[in-house]
Amino acid sequence: MLTIDGKEVDFKEGATVLEVAAANGIYIPTLCTYSGLLPFGACRLCLVKIENMRGFPPACTTPAAKGMKITANDLELNELRKNVLELILSEHPNSCIICDQKDLCGHYNICPTKSGRVTGCAFCPNKGGCELKQVTEYLGIKEIRFPFTYKNLPLEREDPFFDRDYNLCILCGRCVRVCQEIRGVGAISLTKRGHDTKVGTAFNKSHLDGGCRFCGACVDACPTGALSARGSKWHGIPDKVTTTTCALCSVGCSLKLETKWEKIVAVRPDSEGPANQGQACVRGRFAIPALVNGASRLKYPLIRRNSRLVPATWDEATELAAARLGKYLPGETAFLASPFLTNEAAYLLQKFARVCIGTNNIDTSSFFSGPVIQSRIKRSNMGDGTIEDIAKSGWIIVVGGDIAASHPVLTVKINQAKKRGAFVSLIGSKQNINSRLFDSCISVEPSGYFPLLAGILKIIVEKKGFDSKFVTSQCNDFDEFKNSLKEIDIKTIAGTCGISRDMIEKLTSTILPSGRGSILYGSKILECDDPMQIIGMLFNILLLAGSPAGLVPLMDGANSQGVADMGALPDFLPCYQNIADKDSLSTFEKSWSAMLPKKPGLNYPAILNAAVEGSIKALYVTGGEIPREISLERLDFLVLHDIYPSPLFETADIVFPAAAFTEEDGTITSLEQRVQRLQAGAKPVGMSMPDWTIICKIAEKMNVKGFEFSSASEVFDEICRVNPLISGHGIRDLKLKKKFTLTPVKKTVRSKKGVLHKKPLWHYRGFDLTEMVSDLKILHSKIFGG
Amino acid sequence: MKNTIKDIIKPYQGEKGSLIPILQAVQEKTGFISEDAISTIAMDMNMSEHEIYGVATFYTQFRYTKPGDHMVKVCLGTACHVRGGEQLLDRTENILNIKPGQTTLDSAFSLERVACMGCCALAPVIVVDDKIYPNVAGPKVEKIISRYSSSDEKE
């Protein structure tokens, strides 16, 4: 208990005076405090009076203590704060802040010239969101009694994505701290001292050279207009802000789309997002407007007439699609579901394939659909960790993935765990970004994963370092697993992958005493002979450490998970109901009131092979998921959903213009199996439509019942009815109460290598984002060369 | 270069809190803090190079360019200031054609301004390398500097 302004309030141990005040609805002005950052005490605006304490301690750095008597607001404090703020304003262009005409001006003069520099009123890119202005208004400053000293620093715009005008900087240090404390990067710091202090880099390097990865966290943290996203700085206050989920990778960040003039003009991370909590990455923060507003977006359906693609109406195109698709035998038709489809679209696509065409030839091109899903089914869906689990881990291993490039927001969680003392190791090739993330790195090719992991397991068992209580009470088949390790010889491991016993022991010693851990595995494991086996071994490590919830697949597509959940798989119906199982088949036949094909269909590589050989005659592709080297000459009929012209246009017979993810409602499922909503921030470009609508329209033309939906949420309702895995939005219960099984370690040799569709690192629906967003290309070539 | 810096920072073993002693040791052994030095220290201490640069630039004692053969320090402490230290600095800047903190193109001289050398009775003073020149008023400074540049030529 303590008192603030005469009000008695409770507080939590460890909270600061500022936090206690805020929690009890008492406002204390501050500029340098920022959610998630440690107290800094830079702006001196939160000065308060505390009985029996000398002077005016800052509320943000003073820990609350029992019995404190605090004065948070009175005349004397207000005068003091006014003085402090006037000093701050004497170095910040302030006509826009103290002018008595500012409201009128802000209302009418909303689109000033695109002068790159702030020179006076209405030229600041931070209109509407200026914290400095809010505090000035609160304190009621009408004039500034100090002479104005303009720093006249050059505008910094050499780097991609955002501009920096340090004439507007008030040195609150939020950008520096967010980069260091939350992102763990430290690409900027406060340099020099006194009047010369400036946020900068070592030896004035460019941000690009200095290791900045343009996540935009600093821009979001800036309380003034000093840092501003170049693409959107002059748009002013958006007309509409929509919360949606990012569909550019599988982390599932919640984003706020800012719409102006019916276009997405800017994107900011949502501080309430369960996966990202106010963080984003370069793609989510900066690439989306350029991606969805490109001039060459497809705006109307195209059909092939006299060997040329010509515009057509929706009626013409869907009728043609219905007529042509009906002509082929079910076995001659195949469907490819892009891992960027919404759950609704994926569900309807597989329903369409099975009900309208009568084929199970449907698969997704996601790297992960095969091994990850299979291993999960084998584990009865147990053992997967959530993103929050990563932050709470005592140890973390990243296997075969360039996580800081492919899933940057997860590094925020790794950084949180590191702060709590977690040891972070990397198995795989050296990372291109943020090498400070890892405490140790074992550099090994995918072919070496098996021997290395076998060695780790062997040493853990040999040293009896595992959590025996957990293993005996919760795991099956320990003896079989132990026996299978007999054949593993650590010495030969050193021979095959060049890893010494010492290195393996060092790694295991970081795992064993630390209890709960996480293992994040990326697409490189798919280059191993038997990815299933590798995943099994990774899970074994977690089980031996007594930490069953900790496997995190770094999936490539934004909705790889959801597309598989929805049954866009050749051998599974929605919710992983096996086609071969008569009961589940008849359940679906009943709920869809149709006869369903019983024979499992072709998987992704088999569909591609059959299309090349000619046994598949009609192919339905949603989003350019075909490797360029595949020749589709022998294909008779190709239907395409796309958002931009793609190389497949040469062969496509019908092209449907699809809406981008910012233009549609629906749901996607992230790598932690969290079902989250997409909400349209703008109307689909031109005549384009969401994927699920296109499928419904074709089904309607084929006179098939069961596709009469008027909104994505109606589709979602049907999904919830037939798919018990999905029962609404949010995270699925991943920790079912059942015994775990240790997988025996067995070396298998893959007889036939499947097609590994090499996709660009940053892609959306088969399009390389670096080709669409020029600044992204600059960043990409900086990181990866070329 | 890298190796010697590694050798210099070795005794500190990446200890937290030893950044300033490390920077001082590097400056003492190599004369200045180079980009290379900062990135080596960053690697060793698992810090970002920018963070280290931020710490180093807070203190005026560190330099980031290779110092010249001779270090010229002009005192601007209170006594020297009162007795014409500013004019002395101006004059020196003009002769060497550099600002404080810089080094001449031929790397013969570096110029620095200091605050009090502890010999206020001799103000204004200029210090070249370790030699203190007292009462440097008027054109005296030209002679002093030329003494160093000509001796270089002779060698």
CA distance B53 to chain A (A): 5
Q: Which tens digit of pLDDT belongs to each residue from B48-92?
A: 999 999 999 999 889 898 888 899 999 999 999 999 999 999 999
Residues B85 and B124 in one domain: yes
CA distances from A164 to A189, A207, A234, A279, A731 (A): 14, 11, 14, 20, 39
A133, two tokens: 């202005």
Residues A454 and A541 in one domain: yes
Residues A533 and A444 in one domain: yes
One-letter amino acid at A336 equals L
User: Which chain A positions have a beta carbon within 8 Å of B51's beta carbon?
Assistant: 180, 186, 189
Whether the pLDDT of residue B39 is over 60: the answer is yes
Nearest CB among B50, B52, B58 relative to A188 is that of B50
User: Which chain B positions have a beta carbon within 8 Å of A202's beta carbon?
Assistant: 35, 38, 49-50, 52-53
Identify the weakest region by mean pLDDT among A238-252, A342-356, A638-652, A724-738. Answer: A724-738
Asked if the Cβ–Cβ distance from B52 to A202 is below 8 Å, we say yes
Res B15: pLDDT: 74
* Mean pLDDT value of segment A744-761: 67
Asked if the Cβ–Cβ distance from B49 to A190 is below 8 Å, we say no
**A70, A5 Cβ separation under 8 angstroms:** yes
CA distance A202 to chain B (A): 5
A627 vs A469: CA distance, rounded Å: 49
Neighbours of A380 (CB within 10 A): 12
Percent above pLDDT 70 for chain A:
92
Nearest CA in chain B to A440: B46
CA dihedral in degrees (B15, B17, B22, B27; nearest 10)? 170
Res B155: pLDDT: 37
Residues B54 and B75 in one domain: no
Could you tell me which residue, A112 or A164, shows the higher pLDDT?
Answer: A164
Nearest CA among B133, B129, B131 for reference residue B143: B133
Its sign, for the CA torsion A331, A333, A337, A341, is negative
Whether the pLDDT of residue A378 is over 80: the answer is no
CA distance A163 to chain B (A): 19
Nearest CA in chain A to B58: A192
Res A105: pLDDT: 61
Reported residue count of chain A is 786
Asked if the Cβ–Cβ distance from B54 to A436 is below 8 Å, we say no
Whether the pLDDT of residue A587 is over 80: the answer is yes
Neighbours of B62 (CB within 10 A): 17
Res A732: pLDDT: 62
**A328, A681 Cβ separation under 8 angstroms:** no
Give the CATH number of the domain where residue A480 resides. Answer: 3.40.228.10
Residues B75 and B54 in one domain: no
Residue A188 sits at the chain B interface (C-beta within 8 Å): yes
A27, two tokens: 């406002």
Residue A395 is assigned to a structural domain of this protein: yes
Whether the pLDDT of residue A392 is over 70: the answer is yes
**A436, A419 Cβ separation under 8 angstroms:** no
Residues A349 and A384 in one domain: no
Number of folded domains that form chain A: 2
CA distance B18 to chain A (A): 19
Nearest CB among A200, A203, A211 relative to B35 is that of A203
Q: Which tens digit of pLDDT belongs to each residue from A62-108?
A: 999 999 999 999 999 999 999 999 999 998 887 777 776 666 665 55
A253, two tokens: 């960040």
A520, two tokens: 């994040």
A74 vs A153: CA distance, rounded Å: 37
**Cβ neighbours of residue A673 under 8 Å, at least 6 residues apart?**
A384, A561, A731, A732, A734
Whether the pLDDT of residue A122 is over 60: the answer is no
Residue A271 is assigned to a structural domain of this protein: no
- Identify the residue among B32, B33, B48 best suited for mutation to test binding to A, counting A beta carbons within 10 A and taking the highest: B48
Residue A440 sits at the chain B interface (C-beta within 8 Å): no
Q: How many CB pairs under 8 A join A and B?
A: 45
CA distance A166 to chain B (A): 16
Residue B63 is assigned to a structural domain of this protein: no
Nearest CA in chain A to B64: A203
Residues B32 and B81 in one domain: no
Residues A601 and A630 in one domain: yes
- 3-state DSSP assignment of residue A678: strand
**Cβ neighbours of residue A483 under 8 Å, at least 6 residues apart?**
A744
Residues A655 and A583 in one domain: yes
Whether the pLDDT of residue B112 is over 70: the answer is yes
Band (pLDDT 50/70/90 cuts) for residue A117 is low
Residue B65 is assigned to a structural domain of this protein: no
Q: Which tens digit of pLDDT belongs to each residue from A657-685?
A: 999 999 999 999 999 889 999 999 999 99
CA distances from A533 to A372, A378, A449, A454, B62 (A): 11, 12, 10, 10, 56
DSSP letter assigned to residue A754: P
Res A755: pLDDT: 53
Asked if the Cβ–Cβ distance from A210 to B50 is below 8 Å, we say yes
Residues B150 and B76 in one domain: yes
Residues A469 and A522 in one domain: yes
Q: Which tens digit of pLDDT belongs to each residue from A208-252?
A: 999 999 999 999 999 988 999 988 877 778 899 999 999 999 999
Residue B145 is assigned to a structural domain of this protein: yes
B30 vs A426: CA distance, rounded Å: 36
How far does chain B reach from its first CA to its final CA, in angstroms?
27
Give the CATH number of the domain where residue B140 resides. Answer: 3.40.30.10
Res A652: pLDDT: 94
Q: Which tens digit of pLDDT belongs to each residue from A697-723?
A: 999 999 999 999 999 999 999 998 888
* Mean pLDDT value of segment A291-295: 94
One-letter amino acid at A605 equals P
Please count the CA atoms within 13 angstroms of the CA of A107 that sit on its side-chain side. Answer: 4
- 3-state DSSP assignment of residue A210: coil
Res A111: pLDDT: 45
Band (pLDDT 50/70/90 cuts) for residue A113 is very low
CA B27 from chain centre, in angstroms, equals 10
* Mean pLDDT value of segment A406-425: 94
Asked if the Cβ–Cβ distance from B35 to A202 is below 8 Å, we say yes
A642 vs A141: CA distance, rounded Å: 55
Residue A15 is assigned to a structural domain of this protein: no
CA distance B60 to chain A (A): 9
A23 vs A17: CA distance, rounded Å: 10
Q: Which tens digit of pLDDT belongs to each residue from A47-60?
A: 999 999 999 999 99
Residue A671 is assigned to a structural domain of this protein: yes
Asked if the Cβ–Cβ distance from B48 to A191 is below 8 Å, we say no
Residues B76 and B145 in one domain: yes
Band (pLDDT 50/70/90 cuts) for residue A471 is confident
A591, two tokens: 């709920």
Interface of B with A (CB under 8 A): 35, 38, 46-55, 57-58, 64
A422 vs B83: CA distance, rounded Å: 61
Residue A218 sits at the chain B interface (C-beta within 8 Å): no
Residues A502 and A595 in one domain: no
Pairing mode, if any, of strands B126-128 and B131-133?
Answer: antiparallel
Nearest CA in chain B to A191: B54
- Rounded to the nearest 10 degrees, what angle do helices A343-351 and A712-722 cross at? 70
Asked if the Cβ–Cβ distance from B50 to A189 is below 8 Å, we say yes
Percent above pLDDT 90 for chain A:
61
Q: Which tens digit of pLDDT belongs to each residue from A480-538?
A: 898 888 888 888 777 777 788 888 888 888 887 777 899 999 888 888 888 888 888 99
Residue B116 is assigned to a structural domain of this protein: yes
Residue A538 is assigned to a structural domain of this protein: yes
Residues A583 and A549 in one domain: no
Band (pLDDT 50/70/90 cuts) for residue A476 is confident
One DSSP character per residue, A565-613 reads: HTT-SSSEEGGGEETT-HHHHHHHHHHHTS----S----HHHHHHHHHH
Residue B27 is assigned to a structural domain of this protein: yes
**A335, A626 Cβ separation under 8 angstroms:** no
Whether the pLDDT of residue A436 is over 90: the answer is no
Band (pLDDT 50/70/90 cuts) for residue A61 is very high
Residues B43 and B94 in one domain: no
A152, two tokens: 């006249």
Band (pLDDT 50/70/90 cuts) for residue B154 is very low
Residue B100 is assigned to a structural domain of this protein: yes
Res B38: pLDDT: 94
Residue B135 is assigned to a structural domain of this protein: yes
**A529, A749 Cβ separation under 8 angstroms:** yes
Residues A572 and A713 in one domain: yes
A760 vs A769: CA distance, rounded Å: 8
Residue A502 is assigned to a structural domain of this protein: yes
Res A369: pLDDT: 63
Residue span of the structural domain in which A416 resides = 372-554
Nearest CA in chain B to A211: B48
Q: Which tens digit of pLDDT belongs to each residue from A317-374?
A: 999 999 999 999 999 999 999 999 999 999 999 999 999 999 999 998 876 667 777 7
Q: Which tens digit of pLDDT belongs to each residue from A760-769?
A: 889 999 899 9
Residues B129 and B109 in one domain: yes
Number of folded domains that form chain B: 2
CA distance B148 to chain A (A): 31
Could you tell me which residue, A370 or A392, shows the higher pLDDT?
Answer: A392
Residue A211 sits at the chain B interface (C-beta within 8 Å): yes
A766 vs A84: CA distance, rounded Å: 54
Neighbours of B103 (CB within 10 A): 20
Give the CATH number of the domain where residue A701 resides. Answer: 3.40.50.740
A128, two tokens: 């509407």
CA A138 from chain centre, in angstroms, equals 37
Whether the pLDDT of residue B32 is over 70: the answer is yes
Q: What are the backbone dihedrals phi and psi of residue A182, each rounded to the nearest 5 degrees, phi first?
A: -90, -45
CA distance B94 to chain A (A): 24
* Mean pLDDT value of segment B120-126: 93
Residue A210 sits at the chain B interface (C-beta within 8 Å): yes
Asked if the Cβ–Cβ distance from B50 to A187 is below 8 Å, we say yes
Among A554, A575, A592, the domain boundary falls at: A554
Which residues does residue A427 pair with via DSSP β-bridges, in sequence order? A399, A442
Asked if the Cβ–Cβ distance from B51 to A189 is below 8 Å, we say yes
The three-state (H, E, C) secondary structure of chain B, written as one string: CHHHHHHHHHHHCCCCCCHHHHHHHHHHHHCCCCHHHHHHHHHHHCCCHHHHHHHHHHCCCCCCCCCCCEEEEEECCHHHHHCCHHHHHHHHHHHHCCCCCCECCCCCEEEEEECCCCCHHHCCCEEECCEEECCCCCCHHHHHHHHHHHHHHHC
CA distance A316 to chain B (A): 60
Whether the pLDDT of residue A549 is over 60: the answer is yes
Nearest CB among B46, B49, B58 relative to A202 is that of B49
Res A757: pLDDT: 62
Asked if the Cβ–Cβ distance from B53 to A203 is below 8 Å, we say yes
Residue span of the structural domain in which B52 resides = 2-58
Among A685, A714, A731, the domain boundary falls at: A731
CA A764 from chain centre, in angstroms, equals 13
Residues 243-302 of A with CB under 8 A from B: none
DSSP letter assigned to residue A690: -
Res A118: pLDDT: 57
A300 vs A118: CA distance, rounded Å: 42
Residue A151 is assigned to a structural domain of this protein: no
Residues B83 and B148 in one domain: yes
**A174, A221 Cβ separation under 8 angstroms:** yes
A364 vs A669: CA distance, rounded Å: 15
Residue A441 sits at the chain B interface (C-beta within 8 Å): no
Residue A180 sits at the chain B interface (C-beta within 8 Å): yes
Residues B77 and B138 in one domain: yes
Residue B130 is assigned to a structural domain of this protein: yes
Residue A600 sits at the chain B interface (C-beta within 8 Å): no
Residue A376 is assigned to a structural domain of this protein: yes
**A398, A424 Cβ separation under 8 angstroms:** yes
Q: Is B99 exposed, middle or buried (0-12, 13-18, 19+ CB in 10 A)?
A: exposed
A262, two tokens: 């019916």
Among A539, A554, A569, the domain boundary falls at: A554
Residues A565 and A700 in one domain: yes
Res A723: pLDDT: 80
User: Which chain A positions have a beta carbon within 8 Å of B34's beta carbon?
Assistant: none
Residues B96 and B123 in one domain: yes
Its sign, for the CA torsion A669, A672, A676, A682, is negative
**A550, A389 Cβ separation under 8 angstroms:** yes
A345, two tokens: 């679209």
Nearest CA among B1, B54, B10, B73 for reference residue B32: B1
A393 vs A407: CA distance, rounded Å: 18
Which residues does residue A618 pair with via DSSP β-bridges, in sequence order? A333, A637
CA angle at residue A646 from A642 to A650, to 5 degrees? 110
CA distance A508 to chain B (A): 22
Res A466: pLDDT: 84
Residues A621 and A569 in one domain: yes
Please count the CA atoms within 13 angstroms of the CA of A223 that sit on its side-chain side. Answer: 21
Nearest CA in chain A to B62: A192
Residues A386 and A518 in one domain: yes
CA distance A58 to chain B (A): 23
Residues B32 and B92 in one domain: no
